[in-house]
Amino acid sequence: MNTNKLKRGALRALILILLYILQTDVFTHLKISCACPLALPLAAVGFGLFDGGLTGGLWGLAAGILCDVSVGSGGGFTVLLTLAGFFSGFLSEFLLAKGFPSFLTLSAVTLLLCAFIQAAPAVAYRGMPLSSAAAAALIQTLYSLIFVLPVYWVSRGISRMKGR
C-alpha cells in the first residue's frame, strides 16, 4: 500500500479526533443563544470535495458517528454526513469546482441540514414552534461557519499530499 495514502488517512483521522474534541469539550462552553458550533460536518464536506465521493462518504461516515456520539442523536448525523461527504465528492467530479466557494456553499447546506436534524425532535415531540427552530438552526449554522476557513485549508492540504 502506498505510504502517502496511509499518511493522508492518519492525518484525516487525527483531524476528525481533534474536531471531535473541540466540538465536545470546547464548543459546548461557547454557546450563543443555546447554539453550539458543529465542526465535524465541515470535515466530511472537505474530504469529499477534495478527494472524491468514496473517500468523502467513508470519512463522512466516521464524522457522522462521532457527531452522533457528540450530540447524542439517534443516527441522523451518521446518515447525513455520509451522504454529504459522498455527494460533495460526486458534485466536485462533475459539476462544482474544487475551491472555497464550493466548499462554503456545501458546508452551509450541510450545517443547515444538521441543525434541522437537531431541531426536529423538539418540534415534533415537544411542540417547539417552527419559527423558533428555524431561528436556532440559522444561528447554529452561521456560528459553525466561522470554522470553514481552517477546515478548508486543512482538508485541501491533505488532498494535495498526493503528488509528494
The end-to-end CA distance of the chain, in Å, is: 15
Q: Take residue 101 and report the three cell numbers written for it.
A: 466557494
pLDDT tens digits, one per residue of 131-152: 888 888 999 999 999 999 999 9
Nearest-angstrom CA–CA distance, 31 and 35: 5
Question: What's the 3-state SS for 143-162?
Answer: HHHHHHHHHHHHHHHHHHHH
Nearest-angstrom CA–CA distance, 41 and 70: 12
Residue 72 backbone dihedrals phi, psi, to 5 degrees: 85, 30
Give the predicted TM-score (pTM) of the model.
0.91
pLDDT (0 to 100) of residue 121: 82
Check pLDDT > 60 for residue 164: no
